[in-house]
Chain A
């Protein structure tokens, strides 16, 4: 019997969703990053012993996935990213190779008739052709593994995963590492979508630049209970606050512009729920701040509840899996 899989191919994490027999879903995730280490037998043995996924390439060993960050810290370096701002990273020579390796490892080869749906960002603000390249390349990699492949807008995936009670009508926002993706959906059909490149990585880079701390330290602050609580005496937290708010403002302004620029919008039966997913939305008070910012504008449709997805890190993968299961 053929199977379906949902893949959230994010800038910082790759998440795979698969269905269980009892109609629930399972998730596995991996950091979308790698580190190149000088080859030595000792290092290779250590990696093997610890079960770290790796590949030997001439005089280098490439370690990837969750443990890559650990090795990068050990070597006082930073991890390398196969993706940037939601798309394949043109600055990274090993981008294609690493993504293919990650997909092979996470997704595995398909059985006959297996389907997969992977998430793609909305067209980037600068060059739409980059999205075409990204989408077709990833599609080819998955087809090579034997899957019947379809892609799905990331914001729409959030709607699929979370807005069943609203008949898949509402606004899905995925706050990822490289991009924020927004989709206004009407009964499961996308009406408007857009993306912004001010997201998690932008916050890390900018906060690191003004506070003088390394991006790793900034990330540590972010991931250990940071909350948007207004002015802070701590320079890193203050910087984080400022750039988180900037991300929020960018998305809210984007939504206001997008809705205003759209000539004919459907009349909704009830106010549109806004669902937030992705790691960046996990900061304390993020939802409240976004809610406040959204209420400052007026829109041609009524906005309802603004809420965090039930499982924000797995939401996109779940939505992609639902899309893959649609034709089964």
Chain B
């Protein structure tokens, strides 16, 4: 075999550079532009002095070549701070070639110092601060050491009045706790096209929560977080919690100050997920109210905007509390990380066979900060197996681009159609019919267990 090492003496950049380039690439519309940009960025990186790569200003060598490449994309304009960084970069490169005139050297050094100071300001981490998509590296403006990576087992330390304290610092208030129906659900094997009769004849019925669905309240009742609104913030915050508890909509709500409220016990059902499907580790769950816990972040309606990113949607206090709560739930209920998902990843409409009936979190959930893997990369089972599609409206909510799990799932479905020698439309028709049969059968099973029937949200 004739293996060709194509790279020659190329210097491979680190993962941070890859994240930076991937993040900046999202600003470009066409795949060809992105390809050109990636290649240019790598070429620019090669021109970086190796001394700089090893210096305390190494971050320069990861950001600025990418910006240099972006600047050469015809249809893209850099922001002012990015232009400032580039100026510093170009001056840096000018230094070795400049005659050693003391006044000029001093001027260059001064300019470099100034630009470096600007460049190293946290507000100017260009690729990460403004990424519209929830790539793991893009969404980490507020890294919270320890919250997601608490090394010890999490247990309940004490209960005082209505407050629970856990060993990882989590405090949960039971002030608004109500009771609902006990949890009971059927697990089916993952995938589609199986012989379901055996699984339905001897159903695998469980009562322990299988996973967590993250939501946002998108509540107009929550006033803006402004000093003048203090009275309203206090009053309406409690109003909102009372309403959510009365309607049994979520198990937990995290308000904007990071306070965690339990509205329903984990062993009971909340009506948070509606029509939905998810699978992990060979197991599949339909209509996740019965099987998954619902955790909601208090947000205002305009909060989830793909332009502003997750940091505008929720507060750092909420993210920290969510990391603690997730860790507690995962530890105490043995919930696998693959079953921690967001509402828009699971929500669907069986009538028009489209996903994204509910759109929270609009692709912006900060999985990494919560201590979870990048779930937006996981192919959606609704699309990959059951042939659900997504429309332009949903993609627009996601900022104009489907997240990777959606496109991967679409490819999987096409791949299966190829492998089965079927037209995609035909496979989709078959899967839609199969989906109806399964959910009808599960509905009947559910009614046998609990006669009040399902509710959607």
Contacts and interface: CB of A to CB of B under 8 A. Distances in A.
3 nearest A-B pairs in the assembled complex, by CB-CB distance: A266-B12, A190-B6, A308-B415
B407 interface: yes
Contacts of A126: 2
B137 interface: yes
A187 B14 contact: no
Interface stretch (B90-98, B299-307, B418-426): B418-426
Interface in B5-29: 5-7, 10, 12-15, 18-19, 21-22, 25
A285 interface: yes
Contacts, number: 130
B114 interface: no
29 contacts: A125-B1, A125-B2, A160-B35, A164-B31, A165-B408, A183-B6, A187-B18, A188-B39, A189-B6, A189-B10, A192-B3, A194-B2, A195-B2, A196-B1, A257-B1, A262-B3, A265-B12, A269-B19, A269-B22, A270-B374, A270-B377, A287-B415, A287-B419, A305-B379, A305-B408, A307-B412, A308-B419, A310-B411, A312-B418
Contacts of A186: 7, 12, 42
A307 B415 contact: yes
B4 interface: yes
B419 A262 contact: no
Interface string A223-247: 0110100000000000000000000
A198 to B, nearest CB: 11
Nearest to A160: B35
A248 interface: no
A224 B374 CA distance: 39
B407 A194 contact: no
A210 interface: no
Contacts of B6: 153, 183, 189-193
Q: Is the interface of B mostly helix, strand, loop or mixed?
A: helix
B414 interface: yes
A153 B7 CA distance: 14
A190 B7 contact: yes
Contacts of B377: 270
B404 interface: yes
Nearest to A161: B31
Contacts of B379: 305
Contact of B419 (A191, A265, A269, A284): A284
Contact of A326 (B5, B13, B32, B410): B32
Given A168-B38, A187-B42, A261 B3 contact: yes
B41 interface: yes
A325 interface: yes
Nearest to A183: B6
A82 B13 CA distance: 43
A123 interface: yes
A179 B377 CA distance: 32
Interface of A: 23, 122-126, 128, 153, 160, 164-165, 167-169, 183, 186-196, 224-225, 227, 254, 257-258, 261-262, 264-270, 282, 284-287, 305, 307-312, 322, 325-326
A291 to B, nearest CB: 12
Nearest to A284: B419
Given A284-B419, A307-B412, A308-B411, A269 B35 contact: no
A40 B248 CA distance: 84
Nearest to B6: A190
Interface of B: 1-7, 10, 12-15, 18-19, 21-22, 25, 30-32, 34-36, 38-39, 41-42, 137, 374, 377, 379, 404, 407-408, 410-412, 414-415, 418-421
B41 to A, nearest CB: 7
Given A287-B415, A326-B32, A122 B21 contact: no
A183 B30 CA distance: 23
Contact of A188 (B35, B407, B418): B35
A269 B418 contact: no
A225 B422 CA distance: 10
Contacts of B36: 326
B411 A307 contact: yes
B408 A307 contact: yes
Nearest to A264: B12
Given A269-B137, A284-B420, A308-B418, A192 B4 contact: yes
B8 to A, nearest CB: 10
Nearest to B378: A305
A309 B415 CA distance: 8
Given A187-B38, A189-B42, A264-B12, A124 B18 contact: no
A258 B379 CA distance: 29
A123 B2 contact: yes
B412 A267 contact: no
Given A257-B1, A262-B5, A268 B15 contact: yes
A321 B186 CA distance: 49
Contacts of B404: 165
Given A188-B42, A287-B419, A310-B414, 11 more contacts: A23-B30, A122-B2, A167-B25, A169-B18, A188-B39, A189-B6, A190-B6, A192-B7, A268-B15, A308-B414, A326-B36
Nearest to A323: B35
Nearest to B410: A310
A266 B415 contact: no
Most buried by B among A124, A186, A190: A186
A125 to B, nearest CB: 5
Contacts of A195: 2
Contacts of B13: 266
A269 B38 CA distance: 14
Contacts of A261: 3
Contacts of A122: 2, 4
B38 A188 contact: yes
B54 to A, nearest CB: 16
A58 B89 CA distance: 68
A308 B32 CA distance: 21
A186 B14 CA distance: 12
B216 to A, nearest CB: 25
Contacts of A125: 1-2
Indicate the member of B1, B12, B412 with the most A CB atoms within 10 Å. B1
Nearest to A265: B12
Contacts of A227: 419
A240 to B, nearest CB: 15
Nearest to A258: B3
A167 B408 CA distance: 14
A285 B39 CA distance: 34
Nearest to B414: A310
B137 to A, nearest CB: 7
Contact of B35 (A168, A264, A284): A168
Which of B410, B414, B415 has its CB near the most chain A CB atoms (within 10 A)? B415
